[in-house]
Amino acid sequence: MLNLERLRTLDALARFGSVSGAAEGLHVTTSAVSQQLAKLEREVGQQLLARNGRGVRLTDAGRLLADHAARILSQVELAQSDIEAQRGEVVGEVRLGAFPTAARGLFPATLAALRADHPELKVRTAELEPEDGIRAVMRGDIDLAVVLDWSNKRLPVPGGLAMAELLDDAPDIAMPAGHPLADRAEVDLEDFADDDWISWPEGEFCHDWLMFTLRSKGVEPRIAHLAGEHHTQLALIAAGVGVCVAPRLGRGAVPDGVRLVPVRQKMRRHVHAVWRADADRRPSIRAAVAALRAAGREFDAPLNGDGTA
């Protein structure tokens, strides 16, 4: 009898390509991964791994079993989904992840609606950047991730995942109230070629988008400050030290001394929910998507330059 957790370990090794990658993906130690794989080799009576320099590779038998493991784990997920769907009730537990502004902007209303409509459903949440959220869904750490991409820079979504659009987020440019462009009705990003920018931390999807977008317009961005929290970015702008892109989702109160001006090019952040396709029939997933969409409708109204609707 093949052990399901050992098959999960083999599947993680096949997907992440190394023992350390599998350990990180499964949130266990590398020695725990090695022990599980050694036990699996004894169970099947064949060598599944071979040395490859300082790492390991799957043998032919290992690749064969890894392919079966992926299908078995998918069938387990599908069985759980079907059982939940058969019962037809939104119960049990659903684990949600979202990038920080979506967590701040969508989760409060979403959790309140789910608690009111489905009191027997337990909801757990976590803040995760889009790429981390997708990886967490793929390895089963969470059930659904709220992710984003931009109209000119898409987020790659692997096969095997289902996606639903939640809302389009229209960002503005935030600048000090005394900025020469603060009284404009609209602006272009290239209007700020000579300004210092406040950006998200390096390596984050939105930072990469900002660099890509400005460079595509012939502007080499002057990144003066990095801040992950929009409140911090806006506080720096209130101090007069730069400009930033300010999405409306989860923005909150705008400090005195900050002016928000829409972008003429009609940039959009597309906000989506993603989950494993083999969990598509789970009532809890459908309920969570519906609640997230309802929470997102609040951000459809255009905002004025002072941040109010």
- pLDDT tens-digit profile of 98-109? 998 899 999 999
Chain-centre distance for alpha carbon 142: 11
Between residues 91 and 190, the one the model is more confident about: 190
Which residues touch 175 (CB under 8 Å, ≥6 apart)? 181, 182, 192, 195, 237, 243, 258, 259, 261
Res. 302: pLDDT tops 70: no
- In one letter, which amino acid is 246? A
Res. 264: pLDDT tops 70: yes
Q: Report angle CA 134, 75, 97 to the nearest 5 degrees.
A: 25
Chain-centre distance for alpha carbon 42: 38
Q: How confident is the model over 80-101, as a mean pLDDT?
A: 80
Tokens representing 230 are 């929009």
Mean pLDDT, all residues of the chain = 88
Which residues touch 104 (CB under 8 Å, ≥6 apart)? 250, 252
Please tell me the predicted confidence (pLDDT) of residue 59. Answer: 93
pLDDT digits (tens, 9 = 90+) for 173-224: 999 999 999 999 999 989 999 999 999 999 888 899 999 999 998 999 999 9
pLDDT digits (tens, 9 = 90+) for 17-64: 899 988 887 878 999 999 999 999 999 999 999 988 888 899 999 999
Q: Is the pTM of this model over 0.85?
A: no
| Block residue for tokens 């406040």 | 198
Res. 154: pLDDT tops 90: no
Phi-psi region of 43 (alpha: psi -120 to 50; beta: other; left: phi over 0): alpha
